[in-house]
Amino acid sequence: MDHKLNIEDLQESLQTSFICKKHDSSEKYRSKFLINSGQFSAGNIQKVICDILDELRGCESFDISVAFITDGGVNLLTQTLLELKEKGIKGRILTTDYNLFSEPSALKELAKFENIDVRMYRCKEGSGFHVKSFIFNHSSQCNVIIGSSNLTQNALTTNQEWNVKFVSTFEGEMVFLIKKEFEKLWNDPLSFPLEEVIEEYEQERKTLKDLQRKANAYISS
Residue 173 lies in a domain: yes
Q: Looking at the structure, do residues 93 and 201 belong to the same domain, yes or no?
A: yes
Q: Looking at the structure, do residues 173 and 149 belong to the same domain, yes or no?
A: yes
Half-sphere exposure of 118 (CA within 13 A, CB side): 23
pLDDT confidence tier of residue 38, bands split at 50, 70 and 90: low
pLDDT confidence tier of residue 2, bands split at 50, 70 and 90: low
pLDDT > 90? residue 79: yes
H or E element, residue 147: strand 142-147
Lowest mean pLDDT among 76-90, 95-109, 117-131, 205-219: 205-219
pLDDT confidence tier of residue 210, bands split at 50, 70 and 90: confident
- Classify 99 in phi/psi space as left (phi over 0), alpha (psi -120 to 50) or beta: left
Q: Looking at the structure, do residues 61 and 7 belong to the same domain, yes or no?
A: no
Range of the domain at 205: 31-211
Q: Looking at the structure, do residues 124 and 50 belong to the same domain, yes or no?
A: yes
72/209: higher pLDDT:
72
Model pLDDT for residues 10-37, shown as the tens digit of each residue: 999 999 999 999 999 999 999 999 999 7
Residue 171 lies in a domain: yes
Residue 218 lies in a domain: no
Q: Mean pLDDT throughout 65-90?
A: 97
pLDDT > 80? residue 55: yes
Q: Looking at the structure, do residues 19 and 124 belong to the same domain, yes or no?
A: no
pLDDT confidence tier of residue 126, bands split at 50, 70 and 90: low
pLDDT value, residue 44? 55
Of the chain, the end-to-end C-alpha distance in Å amounts to 61
pLDDT confidence tier of residue 1, bands split at 50, 70 and 90: very low
Which residues are CB-neighbours of 134 under 8 A, at least 6 positions away?
52, 55, 62, 63, 64, 144, 145, 146
pLDDT confidence tier of residue 217, bands split at 50, 70 and 90: confident
pLDDT > 60? residue 40: no
Residue 220 lies in a domain: no
pLDDT confidence tier of residue 219, bands split at 50, 70 and 90: confident
Mean confidence (pLDDT) of the chain: 92
Q: Mean pLDDT throughout 203-209?
A: 90
pLDDT value, residue 221? 65
Q: Looking at the structure, do residues 18 and 100 belong to the same domain, yes or no?
A: no
What is the number of domains present in the chain? 2
Q: Looking at the structure, do residues 2 and 98 belong to the same domain, yes or no?
A: no
Residue 216 lies in a domain: no
Model pLDDT for residues 156-203, shown as the tens digit of each residue: 999 999 999 999 999 999 999 999 999 999 999 999 999 999 999 999
d(CA 163, CA 25): 21
d(CA 71, CA 175): 29
Please report, for the domain that includes residue 196, its CATH number: 3.30.870.10
How many C-beta neighbours within 10 Å does residue 167 have? 23
Q: Looking at the structure, do residues 114 and 23 belong to the same domain, yes or no?
A: no
Helices (H), the chain: 7-18, 48-58, 71-87, 104-111, 153-157, 173-186, 194-220
Closest CA to 123 of 184, 178, 188: 188
pLDDT value, residue 42? 52
